[in-house]
Homo-oligomer: A and B are copies of this chain.
Amino acid sequence: MPRRGVATRAQVSGKLSKMLFELSVSDELGRYLEQLEERSNISLEETASVREVRKQYRRRKAIPPELIEEFNIARSKSQATWAEARRTSDFALFLPHLKKMVEYARRFADYYGYEDHPYDGLLEEYEPGMTSVQLRQIIEPLRGEIVRLIRRLSDQGSRPDSSLLEGTFDIDTQRRLARRALKVIGYDFDAGSLDDVPHPFTTAIAPGDVRVTNRYVDAAFTPGLFAALHEGGHALYDQGMDEKLFHLRLARGASYGVHESQSRMIENVVGRSRPFWMFFQPILAEFFPQFTHASPDDLYRAVNVVAPSLIRVEADEVTYNLHIMLRIEIETGLIDGSITAADLPRRWNETIERYLSVVPANDAQGVLQDVHWSMGSLGYFPSYMLGNLYAAQLHAKLRDEVTDLDERIASGNLRALVDWLRENVHRYGAVYPPTELIQRITGSPLDTSHFMRYITEKYADVYRL
Contacts and interface: CB of A to CB of B under 8 A. Distances in A.
Contacts of A9: 205, 209
A206 B206 CA distance: 26
A401 interface: no
A246 interface: yes
A191 B4 CA distance: 5
Contacts of A192: 2
B5 A205 contact: yes
A21 interface: no
Contact of A190 (B4, B206, B208, B246): B4
B8 A190 contact: no
Contact of A5 (B3, B4, B7, B191): B191
Interface in A1-34: 1-5, 7-9
Contacts of A5: 191, 205-206, 208-209
Nearest to A192: B2
A193 interface: yes
Contact of A2 (B3, B7, B8, B193): B193
A186 to B, nearest CB: 15
B4 A209 contact: yes
Which secondary structure characterizes the binding site on chain A?
Answer: mixed
A7 B246 CA distance: 13
Interface string A208-226: 1111000000000000000
A189 interface: yes
B246 A208 contact: no
Interface residues of A, number: 21
A246 to B, nearest CB: 7
A253 B437 CA distance: 56
B246 A210 contact: no
Contact of A1 (B1, B2, B209, B246): B209
Contacts of A190: 2-4
Contact of A205 (B3, B8, B205): B8
A191 B9 CA distance: 13
Contacts of A209: 1-2, 4-5, 8-9
A367 B308 CA distance: 74
A275 B190 CA distance: 48
Contacts of A208: 2, 4-5, 7-8
Interface in A382-438: none
A79 to B, nearest CB: 24
A7 B1 CA distance: 22
A5 B211 CA distance: 10
A206 B246 contact: no
A202 to B, nearest CB: 13
A189 B246 contact: no
Interface in A206-252: 206, 208-211, 246
A242 to B, nearest CB: 14
Contacts of A210: 2
A7 B189 CA distance: 15
Contacts of A211: 1-2
Nearest to A5: B209
Interface in A156-208: 188-193, 205-206, 208
A193 B5 CA distance: 10
A369 to B, nearest CB: 32
A249 to B, nearest CB: 14
Contacts of A189: 2
A188 B4 CA distance: 10
A192 B1 CA distance: 7
Contacts of A7: 208
A195 to B, nearest CB: 10
A198 to B, nearest CB: 19
A231 to B, nearest CB: 15
Given A2-B208, A4-B190, 5 more contacts: A2-B188, A3-B191, A8-B205, A8-B209, A8-B246
8 contacts: A1-B211, A2-B191, A2-B192, A2-B209, A2-B211, A4-B191, A8-B208, A8-B246
**A-B pairs with lowest CB-CB distance, top 4:** A5-B209, A4-B208, A8-B206, A4-B191
